Amino acid sequence: MTLGGLGNEYPILIVADQRRLAGREKEIRSFLRALRRAERYAADHPDEAAAMMAEETGLSPKVAREAMKRHQYRIRLDEVILSSLDETARFLLGQKILDDLPDIAGAARPDLLE
């Protein structure tokens, strides 16, 4: 089986060391608010967002628009995402890519998205 056969959500993650997060909740919340604004902008202005992606990646605007249609741009850390991450970790453990199963739910900080 490949990772692609899991049928999971393939979230793009922001991962940080807990020590680096300590005492920086204001900055983290500000960063996440900026990501939410970007999320809304991409949803409300898909052509402009695709043009920005095209400029940054070198793709044509048409290809960038088509690529963006295949993705969901949402900031979330819900049960679906947590389950998907756990399933991926279990797969990687079974493939001997990970030595130990990480505590995904214990490390997640959904409170920062509030």
pLDDT for res 3: 63
Tell me if 105 sits within 8 A of 23, measured CB to CB. no
pLDDT over 90 (residue 114)? no
Mean pLDDT value of segment 93-105: 93
pTM over 0.75: no
pLDDT for res 60: 95
Q: Where are the domains of the chain?
A: 24-75, 77-114
Mean pLDDT value of segment 7-26: 80
pLDDT over 60 (residue 2)? no
- What confidence tens digit (pLDDT) does each residue in 19-69 have? 888 899 899 999 999 999 999 999 999 999 999 999 999 999 999 999 988
Q: CA 5 to CA 108: how far, in whole Å?
A: 24
pLDDT for res 47: 94
pLDDT for res 55: 96
pLDDT for res 5: 66
What six digits make up the tokens of 97? Answer: 């890519």
Q: CA 91 to CA 30: how far, in whole Å?
A: 34
